[in-house]
Chain A
Amino acid sequence: MHYVDPHIHMVSRITDDYETLARMGCVAVSEPAFWAGFDRRSADGFRDYFRQITEVEPKRAANYGIAHYSWLCINAKEAEDVKLAREVIAAIPEFLDATNVLGIGEIGLNKNTRNEATVFMEQVELAIRHDETILIHTPHLADKLRGTRMIIDMLADFPNLDRGRVVIDHVEEHTIRHALDAGYWAGMTLYPVTKCSPERACDMVELYGSERLLVNSAGDWGPSRPVAVPDFIVAMRARGHAEDLIEKVVLDNPLALFSRCRRYVPPPRVAGRA
């Protein structure tokens, strides 16, 4: 089955992973800007990173027939330095015309601090000013519920924001309803130990339906499985779910979201679908 991984950090993965994804049926990946495992010291450090995810990764992916999209931002973990964050936010428009950019992300909260909230709001404003779609990271573990609800509270300050162009990612059983009920897309991240498992993602499809629901691996430099989306496909099949339902979640939904970006060009391998 063809599928899309709408959240994976391919800068942290080896080329063999691209080959594995291609063998599994992956036709496109989208790569949100995130924390590199260390704090960068300047806006130029981010510029180099943005070049990597708008110029280098699309070429690596294309070698395996995979379309590569990206999202730009300063992530919540590095947003504690508000001065640096504002320099990075000022630099982002330099890259917004890159053909593979889908929008602003993954912005959000990490420890639910004042500085994180300030930088989050300023990046939502940036997205609205430039008519960009938004991908939002929600915190881990005990911070997740509070952070998710704070994010939804802050987004309510923007009544003209098109909720259908915003993804609230890393939802779990206690946060999915808040994201969907408010009209946002919801991303389920299949991740070892923290976040969600393939079986629990199947449960949430059964409980909440397939509308505005995404599944991703968030594969990165830590323990993670770049083939987590195929794991979900296998788990759904084992329960006897119909192929078209599975395909809607892993292919049609992410492409429908991506198509809300004004620069969007469909992945060549499924160009006739969306």
Chain B
Amino acid sequence: MAQAPPQTALADPRFLAIRSLLVELAASLDRTERHAAGGQASLASDPRWKLLVAAVDRLAEGPGRAEALQMLFSDPYEPSWRRDGGPELAGSPGCCSR
């Protein structure tokens, strides 16, 4: 793999960049709660808010955060999608050796 040259575990520029992102995230969540029409109670029942809360919780769990959050925000994939009413394909049977 292409590893970046090692550096101080948490150099100042990286610390400040992450700190900035976290403060921005915190302010965004505070702002959303403050602006919620029905107050916090209405937010608590919003599935998108629940997703955001679950994503924030995941941040503390350790490596693989980015992929885990992407999965959290994804619709599930069903391997049986073709059998279970998914798209029936209308291409030419036998074409191109398939």
Contact = CB atoms under 8 A, between A and B. Distances in A.
Contacts of B95: 125, 128-129
Given A145-B71, A206-B1, A206-B3, A114 B77 contact: no
B91 interface: yes
Contacts of B86: 114, 117, 150
Interface string A123-157: 01100110000000000011111100110011001
Given A122-B91, A157-B98, A206-B4, A146 B67 contact: no
Nearest to A213: B2
Given A125-B92, A158-B97, A173-B66, A239 B71 contact: no
A203 B52 CA distance: 23
Q: Which of A153, A173, A202, A241 has the most CB of B within 10 A?
A: A173
B71 A174 contact: yes
B73 interface: yes
B90 interface: yes
Q: Chain A interface: which size bin?
A: 35 or more
Overall SS of chain A's interface:
helix
Interface size class of B (residues with CB under 8 A): 20 to 34
Contacts, number: 99
Contacts of B75: 142-143, 145-146
B74 A117 contact: no
Contact of A206 (B2, B70, B77, B92): B2
Given A142-B73, A145-B77, A206-B4, A116 B66 contact: no
Contact of A113 (B5, B67, B79, B87): B87
Interface in B55-78: 66-67, 70-71, 73-78
B14 to A, nearest CB: 10
Given A146-B77, A241-B2, 8 more contacts: A114-B87, A117-B86, A118-B89, A125-B92, A150-B81, A150-B87, A157-B89, A240-B5
